[in-house]
């Protein structure tokens, strides 16, 4: 079976769905972050796949976009982790269900 566009898109959609599920269902803040990172990975996979199977694949366009995206994701993860640590220090917990001070 040769790898085609559909195969990759299915993989990426699966990855995204798994990430979304994790982000929505887990109660631990770190796991939510991991879910989000998985959704980002799915998006990056799409960039590369659409570049690779696109009509004209000049060398590094898609890869570079993916690299940028990974860099941004890293920065975002750093910020997210810092928030998680700050929140943990405050509440002595990482259970997101307890963080409801911003409710209307």
Q: Which chain residues interact with other proteins by CB under 8 A? A: 20, 23-25, 32, 96-97, 99-104
CA distance linking residue 101 with residue 91, whole number of Å: 11
Residues 62 and 51: beta-carbon distance below 8 Å: yes
CB of 60 to other proteins, least distance (A): 30
Beta carbon nearer to other proteins, 26 or 63: 26
Beta carbon nearer to other proteins, 2 or 100: 100
CB of 31 to other proteins, least distance (A): 11
CB of 85 to other proteins, least distance (A): 16
Q: Taking the alpha carbons of 3, 54, 20, 81 in that order, is the dihedral positive or negative?
A: positive
DSSP 54: S
CA distance linking residue 81 with residue 88, whole number of Å: 10
CA distance linking residue 96 with residue 32, whole number of Å: 9
Beta carbon nearer to other proteins, 59 or 97: 97
Beta carbon nearer to other proteins, 59 or 104: 104
């Amino acid at each position: 079976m040769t790898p085609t566009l559909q195969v990759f898109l299915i993989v990426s959609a699966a990855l995204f769905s798994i990430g979304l599920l994790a982000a929505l269902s887990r109660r631990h803040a770190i796991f939510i972050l991991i879910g989000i990172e998985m959704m980002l990975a799915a998006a990056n996979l799409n960039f590369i796949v659409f570049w690779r199977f696109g009509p004209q694949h000049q060398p590094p366009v898609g890869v570079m976009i993916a690299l940028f995206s990974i860099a941004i994701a890293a920065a975002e993860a750093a910020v997210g982790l810092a928030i998680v640590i700050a929140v943990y220090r405050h509440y002595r917990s990482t259970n997101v269900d307890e963080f409801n001070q911003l409710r209307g």
